[in-house]
Amino acid sequence: MKKFRFRLEKVLEYLTTVRDEKKKILLQANAAVTVIEERIEYLEEQLVSHNRSEETTVEALELQSLYVERVQSEIEKAEEELEERKKEAEAALVEYQVAAKNVEVLEKLKEKKKETYDEELEKEEEKFLNELSVMKGITLE
């Protein structure tokens, strides 16, 4: 009997490559979300630490007010970008899940085909051994 060969092996390889690409995209999207979250955290810490300043001159208060406005503006922009990146990460996750499911389905099909092949091979070997034993029985008599 021929060696086992999965007819859809090339398709499985392609889908595995697609899944790996989707996983890479997902990891990059999650990394982008993390970077922005860290940026927001840093800006909020800057805002808190700058508000502790004990300057009381008018110029210092005006500068502090301008700084606070600028940092709050940056936080707002970062939060908008964060929402955008989270949506991208969510879309990347869905795409990865679909690709992973496709690979899983083909891998299960391959396993079932291999099991069927092994069962047929075993039946053929058993049949051969039975025929061999029958032939030996005939020649011994």
Coil/strand/helix, residue 6: coil
Q: In 3D, which of 1, 44, 34, 22 has the Cα closest to residue 101?
A: 22
Tens digit of each residue's pLDDT (9 = 90 or more) over 83-139: 999 999 999 999 999 999 999 999 999 999 999 999 999 999 999 888 888 887 776
Q: Is 113 inside any structural domain?
A: no
Dist. CA 87–CA 85, nearest whole Å: 5
Q: Is 135 inside any structural domain?
A: no
The yes-or-no verdict on residue 79 having pLDDT over 60 is yes
The yes-or-no verdict on residue 45 having pLDDT over 60 is yes
Dist. CA 116–CA 51, nearest whole Å: 72
Coil/strand/helix, residue 20: helix
Residues of the domain holding 83: 9-107
Check which CATH number belongs to the domain holding 27 and give it. Answer: 1.10.287.1700
Q: Is 123 inside any structural domain?
A: no
Report the run of H or E that residue 78 belongs to, with start and end.
helix 58-140
Number of domains in the chain: 1
Q: Is 90 inside any structural domain?
A: yes
pLDDT top residue among 54 and 90:
90
- Max distance between CA atoms of the chain, in angstroms, equals 121
